[in-house]
A and B are shown apart, each in its own frame.
Chain A
């Protein structure tokens, strides 16, 4: 320990008894050391007296508290999530399953014309019997008895949970496809004709006309113009 450290430690009262006695003796006999001690004491006193606490720090402390609030809030949110993660996962599961069940019980009642045609095309039609054609006609308000129009095939299925029938028709101009969806509230992608009797649309560049019978939406698709299709539709509708 050099002299400066010795007098500094003496000033701070950190010397042991023996060291303290030695310093005291030296301070009495060595004026220069005594002067250095006095000078160091003044420095210590000066710092203690004149280096006061900083002023105007209330706002700084307030900002610290705001940051602590933010930490509390985010850690509370984390705790909540970790505590109730299972409940949230269960809720999500119930929501997904519930939505599925609800969709199953209450299927979408709005279908798009192209979607209906695509599904109908995937069905494999069987040969129709007279009884079969008559039953379909009764169900959808159609008259298949016109001699110029023959039913060449019939198929049934379900689209979005709704019953769908495909009836293939034949007349002198060629073949057509009639699709009936029971319970469909609307068929999207169609626009009303001038007189508003039918809705018109194109599916894969083939014309189609649509109309409603009770709770059934019907779509007649054929490679001919709208007027010709509407003429056939008029003949079909009783």
Chain B
């Protein structure tokens, strides 16, 4: 008898929370119709949100916090989203969060920042080292390492353009700077990255100093 009663308890016990959870879910979903729409849009762009966060913070844990905070801020402000470009909108939130929170913290450690933009060599002379020698042996992680050496504002512009494939207008919207500045940052960012890739290739012995100096 006792065994039967226990058995019954075990059979009924775990089902209860599921019923309560689904009921609660049904209730709040019913009262919040925007949730499904937001979740669908956010899930689609989450890899970009997380990837951008990761490439900005260069730390997985910070990236997790930053991406999550951006998603939450976006959800809270979803009724103010104009319905045009969700990815650009949420990346703008992410960028603002990063600037306000993380970059303040990291600013001291940066060798070059927005204020020092003019200090970057205007042309950052592209090396004459053959591209194939620099790039052929590079794997994703090495490219990421070189990218991480590019100053924040240039890195953000380059990755929004070449990784996230946003247009100049969208990048201007995300970073809240004029298109001319976007153009300049992308160009300089690529030139700096090229230099960093070459430096990395030298360090790793993919190319020789003599070739690099040619």
Contact = CB atoms under 8 A, between A and B. Distances in A.
Interface in A77-114: 79
A127 B162 CA distance: 107
A47 B162 contact: yes
Interface stretch (A5-13, A132-140, A172-180, A202-210): A5-13
A-side interface mostly: helix
Given A12-B186, A51-B143, A51-B144, A64 B47 contact: no
B197 A43 contact: yes
Given A53-B47, A76-B28, A14 B135 contact: no
A53 B48 contact: yes
A98 to B, nearest CB: 30
Contacts of A12: 161, 168, 186
Interface in B151-199: 158-159, 161-163, 165, 168, 183-184, 186-188, 190-191, 193-194, 197
Interface in B40-79: 42-43, 46-48, 50-51, 54-55, 63-64, 67-68, 71-72, 75-76
Nearest to A33: B126
Q: How many B residues are at the interface, by size bracket?
A: 35 or more
Contacts, number: 128
Contacts of A68: 35, 38-39, 71-72, 75
Contact of A60 (B50, B138, B162): B50
Q: How many A residues are at the interface, by size bracket?
A: 35 or more
A68 B54 CA distance: 21
Interface stretch (A34-42, A148-156, A189-197): A34-42
A8 B193 CA distance: 13
17 contacts: A4-B188, A5-B187, A8-B186, A8-B190, A9-B183, A12-B186, A14-B183, A36-B126, A39-B126, A42-B131, A48-B163, A50-B143, A51-B144, A64-B42, A68-B35, A71-B75, A73-B24
Given A5-B184, A48-B165, A54-B47, 12 more contacts: A2-B187, A4-B187, A7-B187, A43-B162, A43-B193, A46-B135, A51-B143, A53-B47, A53-B51, A57-B46, A68-B71, A71-B72
Pairs A-B, 8 closest by C-beta atoms: A8-B187, A47-B162, A53-B47, A42-B131, A50-B140, A5-B187, A36-B126, A64-B71
